Amino acid sequence: MQADGNGSNARAPQAWRAAIEDCLQTKAAQRGASAHTLRAYRSDLTDLAAALADSGLEDPAGLNSRHLRLYLARLDERGLERSSIQRKLSAARGLCRHLLQRGRLQRDPTLSLRRARRAARLPKALSESEVEALLRAPDVSNPAGRRDRALLEVLYSAGTRASETVALDLGDLDLEAGQARVIGKGNKQRLVALGPLAVAALIDYLEDPGRPKPAPGAAGALFLNLRGGRLTTRSLQRIVAGLALAAGLGRRPSPHTLRHSFATHLLDRGADLRAVQELLGHAHLATTQIYTHVSMERLRRIYERAHPRA
């Protein structure tokens, strides 16, 4: 997440920068926030600091609800989507809580602000036939295609996030047991299942004499680019999009679409919600329950087609 292209980083006053860094250090220490999460918070909070400094507020100790309403109004004028505004407001709430704990604010100025309501979006899962077409798309006659098939099989078999997938190391795999260890959000470890087809695809990829030799800094990495470096999430997104095009799918799925499909298809076939929660690495069951809505939508369509009085 960037600061929405407004170049605010250089304009944040020293008092704001110090408060932001203190807040981020606390967040990293207490919650184990990832580097990506910390970069996103820094970007959003620096944007807040720069906007309010332009309005004359040089020190966050003077922050009040009027300042925040002014900031939200400016975000709206910039044409930001509601989700982006909500994200920036969430970052501001976190900073205000931190300043309260440090004794730099006497009251929380965000309490009088209403949370923007987010439209509920159901995950867009692929159908089982679409997943099959996607999994058949890689050209396995070359090393890149064998890697890509292994990537897709892992994404769909294990339901891993893109960041978790590219972070996999060889030492994380237990192919004999059909499982892998992944590091999820908050640096939490969990075991994920690797089905027989995923294991077979991984063995083909790992035993491929054309697999690149790891570059310096990528020793032990599972998924490598053609130069031997660790594959990035951006590259993974491009690979999935390109294979979807090759498969003739009418839409461009992301790696996360395969995660959605993994969860939806498990629930469609009767998997226990708690088990799916564990496999996905969700901290809260409510996060997993959105997939039951997807399945219910599908059941409702079947009901309406099949029931004589529907």
What are the catalytic residues? Answer: 161, 185, 256, 259, 282, 291
How far apart CA 133 and CA 143 sit, in angstroms, is 20
* Burial category of 65 from C-beta neighbours within 10 Å (exposed 0-12, middle 13-18, buried 19 and up): middle
Residue 302 burial (CB count, 10 A):
11
Strands (DSSP E) along the chain, which ranges? 173-174, 179-183, 189-193
DSSP assignment string, 227-282: TSSBPPHHHHHHHHHHHHHHTT-SS---HHHHHHHHHHHHHHTT--HHHHHHHHT-
- By DSSP bridging, strand 173-174 and strand 189-193 are unpaired
Q: Positive or negative CA dihedral for 226, 165, 207, 140?
A: negative
The answer for residues whose C-beta is within 8 angstroms of residue 229's C-beta and 6 or more apart is: 215, 217, 218, 221
How far apart CA 260 and CA 108 sit, in angstroms, is 37
- Categorise residue 228: left if φ over 0, alpha if ψ from -120 to 50, beta otherwise: left
Buried b (16+ CB within 10 A) or exposed e, 119-133: eeeeeebbeeebbeb
- By DSSP bridging, strand 173-174 and strand 179-183 are antiparallel
* Both structure tokens of 104: 């730099």
Q: Positive or negative CA dihedral for 293, 297, 298, 300?
A: positive
